[in-house]
Amino acid sequence: MRVGVVQLSSTLETQRNLLVAAEMIAKAATAGARLVVLPEVFNRRGESARVREQAEGLDGPSLLWAAEQARRHGLWLVAGSIAEQAGAAIHNTSCLFSPGGERVAVYRKIHLFDVDIPGAVSRESANVTPGSELVVSQVEGHLLGLTVCYDLRFPELYRRLTLLGARIITVPSAFTERTGRDHWEVLLRARAIENQVFVLAPNQLGTTPGTPSSYGRSMIIDPWGTVLAQAGDSESMIVADLDFARQDEIRLRLPSLQHRRPDLYAWPDPTENR
């Protein structure tokens, strides 16, 4: 299955962002992609303190646009993430759309980006409510697991998605330049290798007001940890072919998932009662 990953440098101007994203989706479709993944906050990036007034519902204009893009090109589309208004709560939400334009899966980011690193200061939890459900969904006969950006640092989530049957995991991101240059590729390849899954990781690029600079270098990685495609330093689209027979061979010849010892891993979390 051919897949496409879109790298954007989204701004505060939603219409501009959607126009660029539409051009990239069309290029991926022309290249034969059956699944395309957009980055985190693809529709609007910046001014995180104003996220509540920027949020949309699941039937808002950005996701209606995404549904139409999937339908127009007859492909599966992971609409990276948007700020979703859900009652009184705001979620960082990723949605999967079918080639018919149906919204078939909704994932609300579980791990929120609260850090205090020079060049990457963020307190996502000040405005966003974490999700509480793991999500996998069928795409072209294979299960796909949904995650978002900071989730990448939590290997337990990726292992659980793998045990639920995921063969592909998406990581739409606005991964910062400050942390990305040291951690982005290492973490992506580790999650692919340890779970023997394909990892599709579109990232934001560059700077916009009110948010840390993003690293770019979007990637498609196979279950051996090989980088099949990597974006450069511009808004762009990359494609690669996912070889599921090769994935089966890797899992057969190096059956690490079968060698797990969950009977020894289930210890109490020593931080729980602190």
Q: What percent of the chain has pLDDT over 70?
A: 97
Mean pLDDT score across all residues of the chain? 95
Residue 150, phi then psi, degrees to nearest 5: -60, -20
Please calculate the CA angle 47-231-58 and round it to the nearest 5 degrees.
Answer: 45
Give the mean model confidence (pLDDT) for residues 72-79: 98
Cβ pair 204, 39 in contact under 8 A:
yes
* Confidence check: pLDDT of 272 > 90: no
Name which of 17-26, 123-132, 219-228 the model is least confident about: 123-132
Residues labelled as active-site residues:
40, 109, 149
How many other β-carbons are positioned within 10 Å of the β-carbon of residue 131? Answer: 23
The confidence band for 211, taking pLDDT boundaries of 50, 70 and 90, is confident
Cβ pair 216, 203 in contact under 8 A:
yes
Cβ pair 173, 148 in contact under 8 A:
yes
2-45 pLDDT per residue, tens: 999 999 999 999 999 999 999 999 999 999 999 999 999 999 99
Give the mean model confidence (pLDDT) for residues 80-106: 97
The confidence band for 93, taking pLDDT boundaries of 50, 70 and 90, is very high
**What is the predicted pLDDT for the residue at 271?**
64
* Confidence check: pLDDT of 254 > 80: yes
**What is the predicted pLDDT for the residue at 98?**
98
The confidence band for 53, taking pLDDT boundaries of 50, 70 and 90, is confident
d(CA 96, CA 107): 9
158-182 pLDDT per residue, tens: 999 999 999 999 999 999 999 999 9
Cβ pair 227, 219 in contact under 8 A:
yes
Q: Position 200: which residue type?
A: L
The confidence band for 269, taking pLDDT boundaries of 50, 70 and 90, is low
d(CA 51, CA 129): 12
Domains of the chain by start residue, with CATH: 2-265 (3.60.110.10)
DSSP 171-211: --B--BHHHHHHHHHHHHHHHHHHHT-EEEE-BBEEEETTE
**What is the predicted pLDDT for the residue at 247?**
98
Question: What pTM value is reported for the model?
Answer: 0.96
DSSP 124-165: GGGT--------EEEETTEEEEE--GGGGG-HHHHHHHHHTT
